[in-house]
Structure 1
Amino acid sequence: MNPTIKDVAREAGVSVATVSRVLNNLPGYTEETRRRVLKVIKELGYQPNALARGLVCKRSHTIGILMPSLSSMVTSEMLKGIERQAHNNEKSVIVCNTDNDGIRTLEYLDVLKEKQVDGIIVVSANLTPVQYRKLVQFKKPVVLVSTCYAGGTLPYVKVDDEAAAYDATLYLLKKGHRRIGMLSGTKEDRIAGFPRIQGYKRALAEYGVTLGEEFIAYGDFTFRSGIKAMAQLLETASGMTAVFAASDEMAAGALVCAYKRGIKVPDDLSIIGYDNTQIAEMTIPPLTTLSQPFYHMGELGMMMLIDNIEQGKKMESRILPHTIQERETVKELFQK
């Protein structure tokens, strides 16, 4: 039979209330009493009831995670960082796969409220005004990871997407490329779609390169949309020597499309991706890409949340650095 809190109290010669205060780090006992109670707990192998502890300290020691996909390489890497820090700080997580479904997201928020989570992390999601208002009304700490809400007050952890896209395009320009196509996400995506297009266009403009809209093809960041968008670019972007893809998956799709058409990468066409997920190392040839620190994003988001919950520390938005991961899909051109 498992030992109870009453067994601990009896063996330690204290009241049940004192054992409860020791377990929940509340005042009202001496240091000698604390050591004696902890010693008995260890000897008996007593496991405190998490729900009961939560009722005392008004915390569930549980964090809710909202993410659009569990199978995505991007979100899975962030989830690893989130779970690592949760485990290190004795927190549990409830992971909710929203599947980019607005109604399901609202339903999960109701579930997390019912579960009395101590806070919420929203990963890589485009929040609607209704979802944003519900998060604010939740009255619990919220951190956005790899996303943000324009004009909102919720703290976030992400890279500067426009600056990152600018640097990816600039990398191609410095390699001598001028006729650079772009495989973009959706125009309506104000988090990862539009800013990356702006970064691409700004780099071209600063180099005095003028290209028409026929050099941009749109998809939804997925592998299959990359194949389709690349096929479109090959038809419309005359003289194209390089492509900037707004995700590694789209870049992988571009590589497949090029292979099927007998186009050699990087000899005939250079390609740079965006994210530096595992797929970038798996393509043939290995993909040069813009690297985001996804694992660290997840770690930092969870630590910000925990520091706020445990210490009341104010959460401030963070922009993390990005880098170019050079591999084998970009060729340097010699300019005359």
Structure 2
Amino acid sequence: MKPTIRDVAKLAGVSISTVSRVMNAPDSVVESKRVKVLQAIERLQYQPNAFARGLIYKKSHTLGVLIPDIRNPYYAGVIRGMEDAAKSLGYSIIICNTDRDKERLISYLENCNEKQVDGILFTSETVYPDYYAEIRRFRLPVVLVSTHSLEYELPSVKINDEAAAYDAVSYLIGLGHRRIGMISLPLSDPIAGLPRYQGYMRALREHGLPHEGGQVIYAEHWYDEARSAAGRLFGQHPQTTAVFAASDEFAMGVLSFLHERGIRVPDEVSVVGFDNIRMSEMTIPQLTTMAQPVYELGYKGVEKLHRLIEHGSVTPLREYLPHSLIVRSSAAPGKGTQ
């Protein structure tokens, strides 16, 4: 059986914490005890693991990452940023796919607590009261990534979704489009649904365009649902000349629908997405989109969590990173403006 830190402590006649200090801060241990511990380690051929090294500091050097749906390509860039930052700061990460299920998410919080993670990166979901209650119960340091909470004092890093949607729709208006539809996430989604809808509506309103919301069709999170939503949009509003999609995956569903109907993009209809996932430049035509700095969001989230773990607080509490429009070939001037 592989020797443990307890075996070393027993053989050396010292406490587990003394063994940990020898491994982590040897100068803090008197020489006589240090020699006994080193001799015991050599005799037992003990190989300390990360958990044993961290016992004295009550740290596992592990972070838990709660992801709503690992299939969503948006999270690839976020997780890559998290992993790079974690590695540079000496952490490992555990990825937990919650599948947008409350019971599953709460069970993962319990698992992370049992595994003694040092902190949690909570991504892209609403912080409901029962989630917050568990976070408080376990006293886990938490940073929100691509989401935020105005109700609870939890550190966060994200973009301003309302402003980004406003800029995307304003770009289409600047190209001369006046009949602009939207494929939106449900308004019950306060993170990406409601604020992106509000940005779309504000752009129409401020540019003097009809803004009663009749050209908004709702879908859940997937490509197939967005393609179906595009069918409803053009069935109800056949004169639509541009579509703002609340995600790049939604935009791909729109492109697929238009291609099947023989409607040329961008000659007849322009399409703008949101996120700038890697596949957005692989579509035909390449997708114009409002980019989130996904890698930076993940990287900064880990940095923020590290500061919270080390110091107990961070500033600013709610941090917003800049968004940017990536102009490719799926959007062009509206009819009559060329």
8 A Cα contact 2:62 2:118, kept in partner = yes
What is the alpha-carbon distance in structure 1 between the residues aligned to residue 58 and residue 176 of structure 2? 61
The code of the aligned residue for 1:208 comes to G
> For each residue in 1:308-331, what CA deviation from the matched residue of structure 2 results, as whole angstroms up to 9, or x when unmatched?
223445252210000001110001
Query: Post-superposition shift, 1:27?
Result: 6.2
What is the alpha-carbon distance in structure 1 between the residues aligned to residue 214 and residue 199 of structure 2? 17
8 A Cα contact 2:120 2:142, kept in partner = yes
What is the alpha-carbon distance in structure 2 between the residues aligned to residue 154 and residue 81 of structure 1? 20
Structure 1 spans left out of the alignment, 5+ residues: 10-14
Q: How many corresponding residue pairs?
A: 326
Equivalent residue runs for 1:142-221 within 5 Å? 142-221=142-221
8 A Cα contact 2:81 2:296, kept in partner = yes
Is the alpha carbon distance of 1:26 and 1:190 closer, same or farther for their aligned partners in structure 2, counting shifts above 3 Å?
farther
- 1:90 maps to 90
Q: Which moved more, 1:319-328 or 1:108-117?
A: 108-117
What is the alpha-carbon distance in structure 2 between the residues aligned to residue 281 and residue 54 of structure 1? 44
> For each residue in 1:15-70, what CA deviation from the matched residue of structure 2 results, as whole angstroms up to 9, or x when unmatched?
9977642533486369xxx9xx99xx9xxx97433222222111111111111111
Is the alpha carbon distance of 1:261 and 1:4 closer, same or farther for their aligned partners in structure 2, counting shifts above 3 Å?
closer
Is the alpha carbon distance of 1:56 and 1:171 closer, same or farther for their aligned partners in structure 2, counting shifts above 3 Å?
same
What is the alpha-carbon distance in structure 1 between the residues aligned to residue 124 and residue 218 of structure 2? 19
Is the alpha carbon distance of 1:17 and 1:127 closer, same or farther for their aligned partners in structure 2, counting shifts above 3 Å?
closer
8 A Cα contact 2:20 2:54, kept in partner = no
Is the alpha carbon distance of 1:209 and 1:308 closer, same or farther for their aligned partners in structure 2, counting shifts above 3 Å?
same
What is the alpha-carbon distance in structure 2 between the residues aligned to residue 195 and residue 22 of structure 1? 53
Is the alpha carbon distance of 1:143 and 1:26 closer, same or farther for their aligned partners in structure 2, counting shifts above 3 Å?
farther
- 1:322 maps to 323
Equivalent residue runs for 1:21-32 within 5 Å? 21-25=21-25, 28=28
- 2:258 maps to 258
Structure 2 spans left out of the alignment, 5+ residues: 10-14
Q: TM-score, normalised by structure 1?
A: 0.87
Report the 3-state secondary structure (helix = DSSP H, G, I; strand = E; otherwise coil) of the residue aligned with 1:203.
helix
> For each residue in 1:203-237, what CA deviation from the matched residue of structure 2 results, as whole angstroms up to 9, or x when unmatched?
11111111443311000131111101110110112
- 1:284 maps to 284
What is the alpha-carbon distance in structure 2 between the residues aligned to residue 139 and residue 17 of structure 1? 23
Is the alpha carbon distance of 1:299 and 1:55 closer, same or farther for their aligned partners in structure 2, counting shifts above 3 Å?
same
The code of the aligned residue for 1:332 comes to P
- 1:12 maps to none
- 1:137 maps to 137
- 2:12 maps to none
Report the 3-state secondary structure (helix = DSSP H, G, I; strand = E; otherwise coil) of the residue aligned with 2:28.
coil
Query: Post-superposition shift, 1:138?
Result: 2.2
Question: Identity of aligned pairs, percent?
Answer: 46
What is the alpha-carbon distance in structure 2 between the residues aligned to residue 5 and residue 113 of structure 1? 22
